Amino acid sequence: MNVYSRRDVLKSAGAFALVNSALSATLAAATNDMLAYVGTYSSGGSDGSSHGEGIYSFRVNLDTGELTDRRLVAKTPNPSWIAIHPSKKFLYAINEVADFVGGTGSVSAFAIEPGGELRLLNTVSSGGAGPAHMSLDATGKFAFVANYIGGSIAVLPVQADGTLVEAVDVQRDLNMVGPARPANAPPGSFAISGHDAPHAHMIAADPANKFVLATDLGQDRLYSYAFDDSTGKLAPRGFLTLLGGVGPRHFAFHPNGRWVYLVTEESSQIVFMNYDASTGTPAIKHIHSALPDGFEGTSFGSEIAISPDGKFLYSANRLHDTISIFAIADDGDPKFIGEASTLGDYPRHFAIDASGRFLFACNQRSDSITSFRIDRETGKLSFTGKYTGVGSPAMIALVR
């Protein structure tokens, strides 16, 4: 921006308007952005890639979708999942390892400093080996962790200063496992993995913060627990068994709280369920392929998300390397309407910004994040032309 003297500014009202406009544009540019934190694999990634060094921060331009100002803000082992505290003051990251105290994984707590820097607060056991997912309850007083290798879920209290306390509850999935080959997979699929033992994969509270759902990929089950938000204790309410071998991975609630959608890892399907918020019970309504008609071969479902306005559903496909797009009908049923290449290899995760304007895809094997503009009328994705290099990105969390 040009710099004007006081005399220059007073020359005419037109000149004053010009300066005022320039100042306003500069302020808008400074505020029309947000932070992104990217967790990476730093050792022994699930597919052997481990090019990251920890957690990176970026500045997100909400006009262009560009990620800039790349910084390594925390060196921590395999922070493959990140959760942001509701206060936006703290960040939590799982450490996907199995060599912490007692042969478990761990969870690290960080304070978010001015400018987005991270300051380590403490690290505690995740309550099982190889944590794969974590989330926070609506109050920010408890963290939920799903331990993939350990086949367990854990509840960790969050202190007022952001530090974590050892688990107050650990629930272990035992015995039953599903068949190795998934039912109803695409023709020619060799997406076979994870059915050697129980493998907890995701855990999150429902929108009312009264119940907690958790998937077990190895057991082909979706568990439900009543949640006591004063003690953090979980009380089992039962489970929903899916078709054998499908590998339930992640789920997403619709903004209305009455519908929940689940993506399966090995059969690449979208499971649409009605959700009874009074009992914490999901019930299957319809199952759809997460891949286009005619697809044959191997692909692994990874992430699923709903647009903020509740009109569209998106799911990621690894090996097919696409984001599938579904329109959500008035009765909640998703209908496949298209797909977009992630222009990278093995999209492990993606995130949609709160305005619903941009989608950011983490291409784990090609060490890049690609950004897409969302047409909020049609749901379709268009590449912004912006690639961002980062080693082995596992997930991206957006903060504003």
Reported as half-sphere exposure (CB side, CA atoms, 13 A), residue 290 has a value of: 35
pLDDT at 4 over 60: no
Work out how many domains the chain is built from and give that number. 2
Residues 8 and 146 in one domain: no
* Token duo for residue 28: 């808008």
pLDDT at 307 over 50: yes
pLDDT band at residue 49 under the 50/70/90 scheme: confident
Q: Which of 45-54, 136-145, 161-170, 191-200 has the lowest mean pLDDT?
A: 45-54
CATH for 291: 2.130.10.10
Looking at residue 115, the DSSP 8-state letter turns out to be G
Chain centroid offset of residue 44 CA: 20
Give me the pLDDT at residue 9, please: 31
Return the C-alpha torsion angle 400, 57, 372, 254, nearest 10. -50
Residues 10 and 151 in one domain: no
**Helices and strands, counts by H and E, the chain:** 2, 28
pLDDT at 2 over 50: no
Residues 46 and 17 in one domain: no
Residues 339 and 202 in one domain: yes
CA 9, 12, 17, 22 torsion: positive or negative? negative
H helices of 83-238, in order, are: none
Residue 367: phi, psi to the nearest 5?
55, 50
* Token duo for residue 385: 């032309």
Q: Residues 203-233: pLDDT tens digits?
A: 999 999 999 999 999 999 999 999 999 999 9
* Token duo for residue 36: 């992104």
Residues 114 and 234 in one domain: yes
Q: What is the C-alpha to C-alpha distance for residues 200 and 273, in angstroms, rounded to an integer?
A: 20
Contacts 24+ apart (CB under 8 A), 112-118: 112/88, 112/399, 116/35, 116/37, 116/57, 116/59, 116/71, 116/73, 117/57, 117/73, 118/55, 118/57, 118/73, 118/74, 118/91
Residues 13 and 104 in one domain: no
In terms of phi and psi (left: phi > 0; alpha: psi -120 to 50; beta: otherwise), the region of 309 is alpha
Which residues face 284 on adjacent strands? 273
Chain centroid offset of residue 126 CA: 18
Which residues face 317 on adjacent strands? 301, 322
Residues 78 and 20 in one domain: no
Residues 257 and 335 in one domain: yes
Give me the pLDDT at residue 15, please: 37
pLDDT at 179 over 50: yes
pLDDT band at residue 44 under the 50/70/90 scheme: confident
> What pTM, to 2 d.p., does this model score?
0.91
Residues 168 and 233 in one domain: yes
Cβ neighbours for 280, distance < 8 A, ≥ 6 positions apart = 206, 210, 211, 212, 213, 224, 225, 226, 237
173: exposed, middle or buried (Cβ count in 10 Å: 0-12, 13-18, 19+): buried
Residues 26 and 93 in one domain: no
Give me the pLDDT at residue 161, please: 98
Q: State percent of the chain over pLDDT 90.
A: 88
Give me the pLDDT at residue 31, please: 58
How far lies 223's CA from each of 179, 281, 386, in Å?
Answer: 19, 9, 39
Q: Residues 279-304: pLDDT tens digits?
A: 999 999 999 999 999 999 999 999 99
Q: What is the C-alpha to C-alpha distance for residues 387 and 383, in angstroms, rounded to an integer?
A: 10
By residue range, what is the domain housing residue 164?
A: 34-399
Question: If we measure between CA atoms, which residue out of 315, 379, 373 comes closest to residue 349?
Answer: 315
pLDDT at 137 over 80: yes
* Residue 276, H or E segment: strand 269-276
Give me the pLDDT at residue 48, please: 58
Residues 287 and 313 in one domain: yes
Q: What is the C-alpha to C-alpha distance for residues 398 and 389, in angstroms, rounded to an integer?
A: 17
- Mean confidence (pLDDT) of the chain: 92
Q: Which residue did the predictor score with more confidence, 16 or 57? A: 57
Residues 176 and 228 in one domain: yes
Q: Which of 23-32, 78-87, 114-123, 345-354 has the lowest mean pLDDT?
A: 23-32
pLDDT band at residue 14 under the 50/70/90 scheme: very low
